[in-house]
Amino acid sequence: MAEYVYDLDSVSKLLNRIIQYNSSEKASNWLQQRRDVQQTTNAISQFNQTFTAIPRFVGKETINVQPEDLDQLSILVPEFFVQGWTLDRLVRVWWLLQLPASNKNDYVAAIENLFNAAEMNELAALYSALPLLAWPEEWIARTSEGIRSNIGIVQEAIMLNNPFPANYLSEPAWNQLVMKAIFTDKPLHRIVGLDRRANAALANILTDFAHERWAAGRTLDPMQWRVLINFITEDNLADIARIASSVVPAEREAAAIVCTQTKFEPAKKLIPADLADAVRNGEINWNSIAEKTIK
Amino acid sequence: MCGIYDLTEKDLQPLTYTPAFLDKIKGMRFFDPHVHMTARTTDDYQAMADAGIVAIIEPAFWLGQPRTGVDSFRDYFSSLLGWERFRSSQFGIKHYCTIGLNSKEANNEKLAEAVMEILPQFIYKEGVVGVGEIGFDDQTALEEKYYRAQLELAKEAGLPVQIHTPHRDKKKGTQRSMDIALEHGLEPHMIIVDHNNEETVKEVLDRGFWAAFTIYPFTKMGNERMVEVVKQYGSERIMVNSAADWGISDPLAVPKTAALMHESGIDLNDIHLVTYANAVKAFAQSGQIDEADFDLAKNIDQSEKFNGSSILRGGQQPRIDKNTTIIR
């Protein structure tokens, strides 16, 4: 098992550059001073205090990121996403990279301790940092635990634009993430790895779920059908037929994409004729459906 | 908590009130600096938001029965900073808290020691606006020990202190609480003495402390009495709160008291001070309250439409019609 699975030094420097770009001089100086103290004393209490105090000194403005920095970040840590973050969150994530990680037990204990005493925004920052934490396998159970959170911004930090769950969660835990995202009205198209981690068990859970919703007279997020593309069978073909003739335009469009992309021949016959071209030329795609139904 | 009270058949009928008091306070903003929301329902949050409450402070207290381990405290403190804060935000109310070891549980020395050890991990968190509620219950030696220790903690952190004054032997307990705080070198303007009544208020104000009044049926202040207190003592350094919890209490005590004050001819500016501004000023000494955040919390529009679909912003909760028998 590796300590860091990416180029720590480059990422830390890049995040620092984005922080500098978004910080006042006063905030920069404070951070620099905290880092110097950290590097000389290596005291865990000061590390924790700084982590907690960050918003007081750097503020909570939404950050601006230069396109070239985004490009570089996406090369260093694929699918890691900082757009739309507030500065305090970015600084907290960067600060976590300053914690020595070579002693695995000490490192894990220190991070776990931060989780256990975290307030709402600290939790969001900690979960946002998952793709960058050392010893990634150590955070799998913690991630599953976080998915059970009832706090909206914590759920979002794990579920949306975060590559860690798709890379590390077991299939049951992954399926739980997707279902919890659906139950809490999250924009599913922002789940990293939604297509890659699709599986037969999840497809079954989703069709059962659809039956429940229909029985209750409730609606569905059309995006959920995306998971079925490679898992259409005789058993769920009727469900696909149902959405292909739905009165809700986004559902018909979802059915059109699913039926176009599936390899299950009987489903191909269900492509709504009036949408076939628009799907083929890309005019209708998952993002255009998300636009219509966005949460 | 409910005291001894003779219930009549009338008291047991379901309430069918129309909140007429809301008209009198339309457009006013309130800050309830003492309310235990972990014990309350989402209906309460909705009603509080509707009545103009924009921000609240939830002091750490006991839970109706003693805890047996430090982890229960840890989880309780983090629920005040996490889940409860989020729950409140869903109704557009900014949630702050004070963190401390309450006087009742200070009597379990072994546990109290363990709690003292974890307190520094929590009092520096964002949105922690004081050390509280601490002070005396039975006025035992152990209560005094941990009261003093937490005063030192507050001093070091530069945080205000929210003092719970005892039900029994109240006057003496209140005096003693103030004496000890001064002994530890805390400034009176950093101390909010809570649960005052007609017997304690004069000395608290004369000595320069903040005087908080809890409007709580049967056992603490009634709001008619509160009107008289403000008429007599004015609005300087006085604030009202509900201390609503798992007992028979009223999370709308602050707006209702404002309405009654208005009806009783108290000046609007004085009402503003005792139901909003004084509490903001007292607890903002923590450096953790920015009034602009109240608006930010409020601005979450429940019914915002995007491309024709109804959406909920920032986890905002949908409103349900309570007046229908149909539940969907």
Among candidates B82, B118, B314 on the partner chain, residue whose Cβ is nearest the Cβ of A123: B82
Question: Chain A residue with minimal CA distance to B95?
Answer: A120
Q: How many C-beta neighbours within 10 Å does residue A196 have?
A: 8
List, for residues A208-238, the tens digit of each pLDDT value. 999 999 999 999 999 999 999 999 999 999 9
Tell me the shortest Cα–Cα distance from B327 to chain A, in angstroms. Answer: 12
Q: What are B58's strand-pairing partners? A: B97
- Dmax over CA atoms of chain A, in Å, equals 69
pLDDT band of residue B328 (cuts 50, 70, 90) is: confident
H/E run at residue B206: helix B201-206
Is the CB of A48 less than 8 angstroms away from the CB of B86? no
Among candidates A53, A120, A152 on the partner chain, residue whose Cβ is nearest the Cβ of B81: A120
- Rounded to the nearest 5 percent, the helix, strand and coil shares of chain B are 45, 15, 40
Tell me the shortest Cα–Cα distance from A101 to chain B, in angstroms. Answer: 22
Q: What percent of chain B has pLDDT over 90?
A: 79
Q: Does residue B74 or residue B320 have the better pLDDT?
A: B74
Structure tokens given for A294: 């966005």
Among candidates A117, A185, A292 on the partner chain, residue whose Cβ is nearest the Cβ of B122: A117
Helix, strand, or coil (residue B45): helix
| Ramachandran angles phi, psi of B327, nearest 5° | -120, 120
The mean pLDDT value for B30-41 works out to 97
CA distance A98 to B240: 46
CA distance B133 to B100: 6
Angle CA A94–A99–A100, to nearest 5:
135
Residue for token pair 């205000």: B160
Domain boundaries, chain B: 27-293
List, for residues A141-166, the tens digit of each pLDDT value. 999 999 999 999 999 999 999 999 99
CA distance A157 to A122: 11
Is the CB of B287 less than 8 angstroms away from the CB of A295? no
**Residue B73 CA to its chain's centroid (Å):** 19
Q: What is the pLDDT of residue A276?
A: 95
The mean pLDDT value for A95-122 works out to 95
Q: What is the DSSP letter of B215?
A: B
List, for residues B253-299, the tens digit of each pLDDT value. 999 999 999 999 999 999 999 999 999 999 999 999 999 889 877 65
| Ramachandran angles phi, psi of B53, nearest 5° | -75, 120
Among candidates B74, B85, B90 on the partner chain, residue whose Cβ is nearest the Cβ of A116: B74
Helix, strand, or coil (residue B309): strand
- pLDDT value at B306 more than 70: no
pLDDT band of residue B6 (cuts 50, 70, 90) is: low
The mean pLDDT value for B85-99 works out to 95
Is the CB of A152 less than 8 angstroms away from the CB of B312? no
CA distance B133 to A63: 37
Q: Full-prediction pTM beyond 0.90?
A: no
Q: Are A140 and A174 in contact (CB under 8 A)?
A: no
Residues of B at the A interface, defined by Cβ within 8 angstroms: 74, 77-78, 81-83, 85-86, 90, 118, 121-122, 124-127, 287, 306-309, 311-312, 314-315
Which residues of chain A are within 8 Å of residue B315 when distances are taken between CB atoms?
A: 152-153
Which residues of chain A are within 8 Å of residue B287 when distances are taken between CB atoms?
A: 56
Q: What is the pLDDT of residue B3?
A: 44
Half-sphere exposure of B18 (CA within 13 A, CB side): 3
Q: What is the SS3 string spanning chain A?
A: CCCCCCCHHHHHHHHHHHHHHHCCHHHHHHHHHHHHHHHHHCCHHHHHHHHHHHHHHHCCCECCCCHHHHHHHHHHCCCCCCCCCEHHHHHHHHHHCCCCCCCHHHHHHHHHHHHHCCCHHHHHHHHHCHHHCCCHHHHHHHHHHHHCCCCHHHHHHHHCCCCHHHHHCCHHHHHHHHHHHHHCCCCHHHCCCCCCCCCHHHHHHHHHHHHHHHHCCCCCCHHHHHHHCCCCCCCCHHHHHHHHCCCCHHHHHHHHHHHHHCCCHHHHCCCCHHHHHHHHCCCCCHHHHHHHHCC
Q: What percent of chain B has pLDDT over 70?
A: 88
The mean pLDDT value for A93-111 works out to 97
**Residue A279 CA to its chain's centroid (Å):** 27
Candidates A49, A52, A119, partner chain B, best to mutate (most B CBs within 10 A): A119
Among candidates B85, B118, B287 on the partner chain, residue whose Cβ is nearest the Cβ of A120: B85
Is the CB of B315 less than 8 angstroms away from the CB of A294? no
Q: What is the pLDDT of residue B13?
A: 59
Q: Which residues of B82-109 are buried (b: 16+ CB within 10 A; e: fewer)?
A: bbbbbbbbbbbbbbbbbbbbbbbbbbbe
The mean pLDDT value for A62-74 works out to 96
Helix, strand, or coil (residue B161): strand
The mean pLDDT value for B111-139 works out to 95
Helix, strand, or coil (residue B247): coil
> Side chain identity at A30, as an amino acid letter?
W
The mean of the pLDDT values for chain A is 95
Question: Chain B residue with minimal CA distance to A295?
Answer: B311
Q: What is the pLDDT of residue B16?
A: 53
Domain boundaries, chain A: 1-187, 198-295
Q: What is the pLDDT of residue B295?
A: 84
List, for residues B143-159, the tens digit of each pLDDT value. 999 999 999 999 999 99
- pLDDT value at B76 more than 70: yes
Q: What is the pLDDT of residue B15?
A: 52
The mean pLDDT value for B112-122 works out to 95
CA distance B255 to B31: 9
Q: What is the pLDDT of residue B303?
A: 37
Is the CB of A52 less than 8 angstroms away from the CB of B125? yes
Which residues of chain A are within 8 Å of residue B127 when distances are taken between CB atoms?
A: 119
Which residues of chain A are within 8 Å of residue B83 when distances are taken between CB atoms?
A: 150-151
Q: What is the pLDDT of residue B8?
A: 66
The mean pLDDT value for B127-144 works out to 96
How would CATH label the architecture of B27-293?
Alpha-Beta Barrel (3.20)
Q: Which residues of B175-204 are buried (b: 16+ CB within 10 A; e: fewer)?
A: ebbbebbeebebebebbbbbbbbeebbebb
Instruction: Give the number of A-B residue pairs with CB atoms closer than 8 Å.
Output: 60
Q: What is the β-pairing status of strands B53-59 and B30-32? A: parallel
Structure tokens given for A4: 């860091």
Q: What is the pLDDT of residue A38?
A: 92
Candidates A49, A150, A151, partner chain B, best to mutate (most B CBs within 10 A): A151
The mean of the pLDDT values for chain B is 89
Structure tokens given for B136: 């005396």
Q: What is the pLDDT of residue A125?
A: 98
pLDDT band of residue B315 (cuts 50, 70, 90) is: low
Is the CB of B74 less than 8 angstroms away from the CB of A53? no
Q: First CA to last CA across chain A, in angstroms?
A: 38
pLDDT band of residue B304 (cuts 50, 70, 90) is: very low
Which residues of chain B are within 8 Å of residue A123 when distances are taken between CB atoms?
A: 82
